[in-house]
Amino acid sequence: MDGLEVLQSWRAAGISMPVLILTARGAWPEKVKGLNAGADDYISKPFHAPEIVARLRALTRRTSGAAHPLLSHKNITLDTVAGKATVDGHSTTLTALELRMLTYFMLRIGRIVSQKELVEHLYNLDDGAVSNTIEVYIARLRKKFGRDFITTVRGLGYRMD
């Protein structure tokens, strides 16, 4: 099966994950075919890596219900493009992993996020993350944003309310 057939079978099966087609086929009829097959975006070669990253961020925001690069919750503002967070208007320094974790939680406000889900979305497969690493980063975010910033839901995971 080629990529479009796989995509069509996913959509027919009700799989709604976001899809970005990256291909050498750049003629407009092929783009239309890809988008009509269920792709959310389509990029043809040649391309630049920063463009792909920007499109993936936009796609993630759209599928999470946040189409704007600025995410706000209570007294926290996160600029997902610049990678900067502020609390009450004051800039807060974040490590790369803290930034990824904060973004993940801000796109899922009110939802329970398990440790397993955090590991799957925050680490590369080669990183070899362990569960207490997640707890360490949760503690760091609580220190920077307040003790009640992320609550522990016993036996299930964490939630940002």
Asked if 149 contacts 142 with a C-beta cutoff of 8 angstroms, the reply is yes
pLDDT confidence of residue 25: 87
Q: Are residues 23 and 95 in the same domain?
A: no
Q: Are residues 84 and 148 in the same domain?
A: yes
Please give the residue that has the higher pLDDT: either 48 or 11: 48
Residue with tokens 């944003």: 145
- At 15, which CATH number? 3.40.50.2300
How many domains does the chain divide into?
Answer: 2
Supply the pTM of this predicted model.
Answer: 0.62
Q: Are residues 21 and 90 in the same domain?
A: no
Which residues form the domain of 130? Answer: 70-159
For residue 70, what are the CA distances in angstroms to 61, 124, 133? 10, 25, 27
pLDDT confidence of residue 122: 78
Q: Kindly indicate the confidence band of residue 67, based on its pLDDT and cuts at 50, 70 and 90.
A: low
Q: Are residues 81 and 11 in the same domain?
A: no
- At 85, which CATH number? 1.10.10.10
Q: Are residues 95 and 121 in the same domain?
A: yes
How far does CA 151 lie from the centroid of its chain?
20
pLDDT (tens digit per residue) in 137-159: 999 999 999 999 899 999 999 99
pLDDT (tens digit per residue) in 87-145: 999 999 999 899 989 999 998 899 999 988 888 777 764 555 566 889 999 999 999 99
For 132, list phi and psi in degrees, rounded to 5.
-70, -15
Q: What percent of the chain has pLDDT over 90?
A: 35
**Domain final residue pick, 39, 63, 87:** 63
pLDDT confidence of residue 160: 94
